[in-house]
Amino acid sequence: MPIAAPSHDTPGSRATTPLTRRGFLAGAAGTGAMLAMPAIIPASALGRDGAVPPSERILLGGIGLGGRGTGDLNWMMAEKDVQFVAICDIRKSRREAIKKMADDRYGNKDCAMHRDIREFLATRTDIDAVLIATGDRWHALGSVMAMRAGKDVYSEKPSCMTIAEGQAVVETARRYGRVYQTGTQRLSEGKFIFCIEAALNGLLGDVHTAYAHIAPWDNATMSHDWRPAQPEPPKEEADWDAWLGPCPWRPFHSAYIGGGWRGYYDFHTSCIGEWGAHTFAQAQAGLGTLDTSPIHYAYVNNTTGDGMVTTFANGKRMVLSRGNAYWRGSCGMRFDGDKGWAAAADGYSKPDVSSPALLGEFNKIVHGYTARTQRATNHVRNFFDCVRSRRLTVANPEVMYNSMATVHAANICMWLKRDLRYDPQKAEFIGDPEANRLRARAMREPWII
């Protein structure tokens, strides 16, 4: 892959002279640099024994890797053509934990640590792609900053806090020609692919309704207050200003940086966004509406959005469900047609279907999908394949934006306690200035898009 030539000025950075890694190694050999190499070279460094040589590896960095990010990183480091080289995190404890994890895996001490995202993106010009697994508040801003710095991005969900942030991610990826994948990994899993393909290809007849799981905890309105102040730690231990990022200034409390930010309006996308960021994309994929969002949101008189009916311009419906009436497990979805239904959730080996005969087509449908789309049934592999090919990922910026616009419109419906009509083409609510003001939030300088 193209990289930049090494700079002698800044450790860990590279200058901007175009050069390939393979070309750099060849050039070094031509000038006699190979004479300084050790007599015994690890097979992995030469690409032997199934290893990918350094000249062909995708160099990966991480931003904000807590529990979920650690899981993602383990998943990514299992890919032989990927090498994790640097962690950027506002917490010293996380920087050190991720460095140890990477160094232990590779048997070296090479993983670099960074605290400031601006310094990280400015100096690490060697890095091809970044994994972003911060809390909700940083996903869109971090993605925009990384793409502007020339990085491809894998961002955890929910990938934007507002409709306006989602639009910014789409525009930045397009303008800078970056590959982007949001972490809606079930779009790449066989049991979910089967349900989506069955819905799209007539196995269920005319599919009129999809059901999408929202998280069975917290509520849609969230808390507008904040935790009591505690003394701020030293910036090197935990950079509180950077943790807040674009959010309003709030007093430090240790619970926030330990994951206790959910349920607070300043930091979260509610119970609807928590799982809807997954399941709305899944449901919209099967309804054939990933290129749009519903035009009508029917308010339900509860605190969670459970039972809300959203309707697309083509008349198809997506119903929000908090319980397990339509599936077993988490992040479930179901499609109902006039000839049958299919449902899947986490923990399934194969989908639930209205007729056992449908599952006779399972392998054929999943294999047909992978052959047609050339996509792996491994979400991170799809991302890295697209980093190489520059093709669109399965959960590309448009897919993220259209499903997250649905999340935010459903939230706004619940906040205002009334039905809403939405124009997906204009990205605005029809005849409702109050709702339109909620499409964006003020961003605190200097953490702005």
Does position 16 have pLDDT exceeding 90, yes or no?
no
Considering the domain architecture, whether residues 374 and 420 belong to the same structural domain is answered as yes
Please, which pLDDT band fits residue 112 given cuts at 50, 70 and 90?
Answer: very high
Please, which pLDDT band fits residue 54 given cuts at 50, 70 and 90?
Answer: confident
Distance CA 143, CA 383 (A): 15
Whether 415 is in a domain gets the answer yes
Considering the domain architecture, whether residues 82 and 214 belong to the same structural domain is answered as no
Whether 261 is in a domain gets the answer no
Whether 442 is in a domain gets the answer no
Considering the domain architecture, whether residues 207 and 169 belong to the same structural domain is answered as no
Give the residue among 183, 185, 188, 155 at the shortest CA–CA distance from 169.
155
Q: For the stretch 352-390, what's the b/e string if a residue is b when 16 or more beta carbons lie within 10 angstroms of its beta carbon?
A: bbeeeebbebbeebbeebeeeeebbbbbbbbbbbbbeee
Please, which pLDDT band fits residue 35 given cuts at 50, 70 and 90?
Answer: very low
Give the residue among 151, 143, 111, 147 at the shortest CA–CA distance from 127.
151
Does position 261 have pLDDT exceeding 80, yes or no?
yes
Whether residue 14 contacts residue 124, with contact meaning beta carbons closer than 8 Å, is answered with: no
Whether residue 33 contacts residue 146, with contact meaning beta carbons closer than 8 Å, is answered with: no
pLDDT of residue 50: 65
Crossing angle of helices 270-287 and 190-200, rounded to 10°:
50
Residues facing 376 on adjacent strands: none
**Rounded alpha-carbon distances, angstroms, from residue 274 to 50, 175, 184, 420, 421:** 39, 29, 11, 21, 23
Looking at residue 146, its amino acid is: A
Considering the domain architecture, whether residues 291 and 314 belong to the same structural domain is answered as yes
Whether residue 398 contacts residue 408, with contact meaning beta carbons closer than 8 Å, is answered with: no
Whether residue 396 contacts residue 411, with contact meaning beta carbons closer than 8 Å, is answered with: no
Domain count of the chain? 2
Please, which pLDDT band fits residue 53 given cuts at 50, 70 and 90?
Answer: confident
For the question of whether the overall pTM of this predicted structure is more than 0.95, the answer is no
Residue 408's domain comprises 186-220+268-437
Whether 228 is in a domain gets the answer no
DSSP 91: B
Considering the domain architecture, whether residues 291 and 146 belong to the same structural domain is answered as no
> pLDDT tens digit string along 173-195?
999 999 999 999 999 999 999 99
pLDDT of residue 25: 38
Considering the domain architecture, whether residues 276 and 332 belong to the same structural domain is answered as yes
Considering the domain architecture, whether residues 151 and 21 belong to the same structural domain is answered as yes
Please, which pLDDT band fits residue 48 given cuts at 50, 70 and 90?
Answer: low
Whether 42 is in a domain gets the answer no
User: What ranges in 260-361 are assigned the alpha helix state H?
Assistant: 270-287
Which of 184, 211, 246 is at the close of a domain? 184
Q: What is the CATH number of the domain that holds 57?
A: 3.40.50.720
Considering the domain architecture, whether residues 72 and 199 belong to the same structural domain is answered as no
Residue 147 sits at the vertex; the CA angle it makes with 61 and 443, to the nearest 5 degrees, is 105
> pLDDT tens digit string along 405-439?
999 999 999 999 999 999 999 999 999 999 999 99
Q: What's the whole-number average pLDDT of the chain?
A: 91
Give the residue among 358, 321, 262, 239 at the shortest CA–CA distance from 67.
262
Give the residue among 136, 212, 159, 219 at the shortest CA–CA distance from 402.
159
Does position 141 have pLDDT exceeding 70, yes or no?
yes
Whether 6 is in a domain gets the answer yes
Which of 131, 158, 184 is at the close of a domain? 184
User: What ranges in 78-135 are assigned the alpha helix state H?
Assistant: 92-106, 117-123
- Token digits of residue 357: 């005969």
Considering the domain architecture, whether residues 84 and 210 belong to the same structural domain is answered as no
Whether 8 is in a domain gets the answer yes
**Rounded alpha-carbon distances, angstroms, from residue 206 to 288, 313, 335, 340, 366:** 12, 16, 10, 9, 20
Of 271 and 52, the one with more pLDDT = 271
- Token digits of residue 69: 């990010």
> pLDDT tens digit string along 395-410?
999 999 999 999 999 9
Q: Is 129 helix (H, G, I), strand (E, B) or coil?
A: strand
Does position 85 have pLDDT exceeding 90, yes or no?
yes
Considering the domain architecture, whether residues 194 and 78 belong to the same structural domain is answered as no
Q: What is the CATH number of the domain that holds 362?
A: 3.30.360.10
Give the residue among 284, 285, 324 at the shortest CA–CA distance from 410.
284
DSSP 305: -
Q: What residue ranges in 345-438 does DSSP mark as E strands?
A: 352-353, 420-423, 428-429
Does position 444 have pLDDT exceeding 80, yes or no?
yes
Considering the domain architecture, whether residues 170 and 303 belong to the same structural domain is answered as no
Does position 37 have pLDDT exceeding 50, yes or no?
no
Give the H/E segment covering residue 340. Answer: strand 340-344
Which of 162, 184, 206 is at the close of a domain? 184
Does position 34 have pLDDT exceeding 80, yes or no?
no
> pLDDT tens digit string along 309-366?
999 999 999 999 999 999 999 999 999 999 999 999 999 999 999 999 999 999 999 9
Distance CA 187, CA 237 (A): 37
Considering the domain architecture, whether residues 311 and 292 belong to the same structural domain is answered as yes
- Percent of the chain scored above 70 by pLDDT? 89
- Residue 402, CB half-sphere, CA atoms under 13 Å: how many? 20
> pLDDT tens digit string along 213-258?
999 999 999 999 999 999 999 999 999 999 999 999 999 999 999 9
Of 98 and 8, the one with more pLDDT = 98
Whether 444 is in a domain gets the answer no
Q: In what order do the strands lie in the sheet with 58-63?
A: 112-114, 82-88, 58-63, 129-132, 152-155, 180-182
Give the residue among 79, 166, 157 at the shortest CA–CA distance from 388.
79
Distance CA 58, CA 384 (A): 8
